[in-house]
A and B are shown apart, each in its own frame.
Chain A
Amino acid sequence: MEHIGVRETVQFMGLTFNWETLCMTWLAMAIVIIISCLAVKSLSIIPKGWQNFVEIIVVWLHGQLENMMGKRGKMFAPFIVSLFLFLLTCNLLGLIPTLASPTNDLNTTLGLALLVVCMVHFFGLYFKGGHYIAHFFQPFPPFVIINMIEEIAKPITLAFRLFGNILAGEILIIVLLHLLPIWMPIPSVLWLGFSIFISCVHAVIFTMLSMAYLGNAVKE
């Protein structure tokens, strides 16, 4: 963003798209696909290199899925693994000069959050049917109001948490560069280091919360 808050848009078939967000998303997808290709190029019993990295992530997420969702968790593994790798790459992309995170756009985070919440409700109804609807009225019928507020809050908080953190991080990078002279790079460097940590943490948080919400709906 050359000017903070201004996004360049394109029109296509009467619809408006944020062009930078789309390009960065495609770039992030390409990076994730390339890493995966490198990982499965020569699979060996003793993993090394990219295979090791991807396997660490897959094994960790398998463990969490089994923890939170029991036996049905295995079917969500590709979705969750893709979500984690995609978010990690997106968040870290913005720290590279002249590039931006796709997740600094509310469209991206809200899209992902709505996707997750729709999946939660869909699979809740699919696996539990009437019980799923009934649990909104536990322990007393008036609780349905509180449960509804919670169900609406879930995608909103999920989206805005990630959006706010990543956008604020990017804005501060620009502000620090404008505020400080060239011979005082230390605060910028410190903020960049912290942003790397924050990017990883928020990828983990989004993924864990998605797993928790899915677990609520799917666990026996």
Chain B
Amino acid sequence: MIELNATLIAQILNFLILVAILRALAYKPVAKMLQQRADKIQETIDKANSDKKAAEDTLAQYKSQLADAQKRAQEIVDKAEITARQEREALVAETKKEIDRMKQNAQLEIQNERDRAFDQMKAEIVSLSLAAAEKIVAKNLSSKENDKLVSDFISGLDKNMFEDAN
């Protein structure tokens, strides 16, 4: 069962030949493939990290731009509000001035009307008084003298009497 002979040397040689063949045929390509795979994985991880960083940078940039735009929009809205308010106040003041002016015109016109009415009434009173006086007084006076008499009488009257009647 146990006999050592030249097979010992033959087996050592056989095995060394096998090592040489396998090294050239199998080990080198497989080792190269393992290295390639490790490199590719490392490259993929590095690329993923750098992509992530670039995406984060872009996001931060967009966020800051958005904040800027919002601030500017707010400024525009505030300015517009102020302008609108100022215009509205100017318009209100203008309208008030117009109303005052119209009021004054109306008052002037009323005064004019009152004076005219007063004059008219004066003339009617003169003629009515003359007619009444004619009936009572026997003497037949001339129209001109009559007018002068009555006008003096009425002028002597207090104008306040008519104005209180307002």
Are A43 and B25 neighbours in the complex by a CB distance under 8 Å?
Answer: no
Contact partners of A115 in chain B: CB under 8 A: 12, 15-16
Q: How many residues of A contact B (CB 8 A)?
A: 47
Which residues of A1-36 are within 8 A (CB) of B?
4-5, 7, 9, 15-18, 21-22, 25-26, 29, 32-33, 36
Task: Judge whether A78 and B11 touch: CB under 8 Å.
Answer: no
Q: Is A54 an interface residue (CB 8 A)?
A: yes
A86 in complex: contacting residue of B18, B27, B34, CB < 8 Å: B18
Question: Counting CB contacts under 8 A, is B132 at the interface?
Answer: no
Q: In the complex, what residues of A have CB within 8 A of residue B21's CB?
A: 29, 33
Q: Are B36 and A45 in contact (CB under 8 A)?
A: yes
| Set of chain B residues within 8 Å of A33, measured between Cβ atoms | 18, 21-22, 25
**Smallest CB–CB gap between B11 and chain A, Å?**
4
The proximity string for B residues 5-46 relative to A, scoring 1 for CB distances below 8 Å and 0 otherwise, is: 111111110111111011101110111011011001000000
- Measured CB to CB, the nearest residue on chain A to B13 is A111
A11's nearest neighbour on chain B, judged by CB, is B6
Complex CA distance for A51 and B4, rounded to whole angstroms: 38
What residues on A are CB-neighbors of B33 within 8 Å? Answer: 43, 45, 47, 51, 55
Whether A40 touches B5, Cβ cut-off 8 Å, given contacts A22-B10, A82-B19, A86-B15, is: no
* Contacting pair A111 B18 (CB below 8 A): no
A115 CA / B34 CA spacing, docked (Å): 29
Residues of A within 8 A of B7 (CB): 16-18, 21-22, 105, 107-108, 111
* Cross-chain pair count, CB within 8 angstroms: 116
Asked if A17 contacts B12 (CB within 8 A), the reply is no
**Which of A32, A39, A82, A108 has the largest number of chain B CB atoms within 10 A?**
A82
Interfacial chain B residues near A106, Cβ < 8 Å: 2-4
Chain B residues lying within 8 Å of A45, measured Cβ to Cβ, are 33, 36-37, 40
**Do residues B29 and A78 form an inter-chain contact, with CB atoms below 8 A?**
no
Chain A contacts for B10, CB-based, 8 A: 17, 22, 107
Residue of A whose beta carbon sits closest to that of B40:
A45
Q: Which residue of B lies closest to A104 (CB)?
A: B1
The B-contacting residues of A in range 79-93, CB under 8 angstroms, are 79, 81-83, 85-86
CA distance A184 to B30 in the complex (A): 46
Q: A47 — which chain B residues lie within 8 A by C-beta?
A: 33
Task: State the CA gap A78–B21 with chains docked (Å).
Answer: 10
CB-CB under 8 A from A43, the residues of chain B are: 29-30, 33
A81 surroundings in chain B (CB, below 8 A): 22, 27
| Across the A-B interface, the 9 shortest Cβ-Cβ residue pairs | A36-B26, A15-B6, A107-B7, A78-B23, A111-B11, A16-B5, A40-B29, A107-B8, A111-B12
List, sorted by A's number, 30 A–B pairs whose CB atoms are closer than 8 Å.
A4-B1, A9-B5, A16-B5, A16-B7, A17-B7, A17-B10, A21-B11, A22-B7, A22-B10, A29-B18, A29-B21, A33-B21, A33-B22, A36-B25, A37-B25, A37-B26, A39-B30, A45-B33, A45-B37, A58-B27, A77-B27, A78-B23, A81-B27, A82-B18, A85-B22, A86-B15, A107-B8, A107-B10, A111-B15, A115-B16
A-B contacts besides A15-B5, A33-B25, A82-B23, 7 pairs, CB < 8 Å: A22-B7, A22-B14, A43-B30, A51-B33, A55-B33, A112-B11, A115-B15
* Chain A residues engaging chain B, CB cutoff 8 angstroms: 4-5, 7, 9, 15-18, 21-22, 25-26, 29, 32-33, 36-37, 39-40, 43, 45, 47, 51, 54-55, 58-59, 62, 77-79, 81-83, 85-86, 102, 105-108, 110-112, 114-115, 167
